[in-house]
Amino acid sequence: MTGLKQRLQAGEQILGTMVTTFTSPDIARLLQNAGFDYFIVDCEHGAFTTREVANILAEARGIGLPGLVRIPEMRREHALKFMEMGAAGLLLPNTESAEQARMLVDCVKYAPLGHRGVSLSRPHTDFKKVNGVEYMKQANENSLLLCQIESRAGVEHIEEILAVEGIDVAFIGPNDMTQDYGKLDQFDDPEIVAAFERVIAAARAAGKFSGVHFGSAAPLKPWLGRGMQCNLWNSDAGLLGLGAATGLAQLKGD
């Protein structure tokens, strides 16, 4: 399986969705069958237990679908725990400074890039006996780290955030961003468009990647053609509602 980072480096666009509600490990297989490239379990807003996340990630690893986690906040125990469970990477919400980005790298990456604790007989190695030095180097190279840009401060510091070694993606949260700008859901507002464009330009200049999460396809589609490679569309609950509404309308003749 080619990793997400390698696919991005090859110029591919990858499209995932957010797991917000469903705790069954089967959600990973359902999303893979639907055609998604990856998913992110939402542990910022979602009510998942650590065991539920561990089970979902275990299923995802078994079928070769990268599963990431949006951690609740920048704390070592969150970053370490989910990586030990076998997450392919992490999304840090509301990143506004290079310091936050450096903390994320420090907790996720092994030395010399960071200070991740070393415990190799875990789900992230599939409980296999590995060569520590080789494995840790590979883990550093493959793990994908996303900083979510959700505020004016995040946009203003985007160049500094992306200058942090180990950060791969500037990932926009459009709802919180537009709220912070006092323009909730006004995605076509010139100031919001300029903020998106600054993030894309900063990522390109740093040799890194950008992306965004939209619940609907319409506001996401234009950004697919404007340089955003690592994106999310909708969620597990949203996709259920979308499919049900479409089918019911056909059956009821609406």
Nearest CA among 136, 154, 245 for reference residue 198: 154
What separation, in Å, do the N-terminal and C-terminal C-alpha atoms of the chain show? 43
Q: Is the sign of the CA dihedral 96, 229, 42, 114 positive or negative?
A: negative
From 45, 115, 124, 157, active-site residue: 45
CA distance 118 to 111: 10
Question: Kind and range of the H or E element at 41?
Answer: strand 38-42
Annotation says 157 is catalytic: no
Instruction: Look at the chain and count its residues.
Output: 254
Position 27, amino acid: I
- Tokens (6 digits) for 180: 């912070």
Would you name the residues annotated as active-site residues? 45
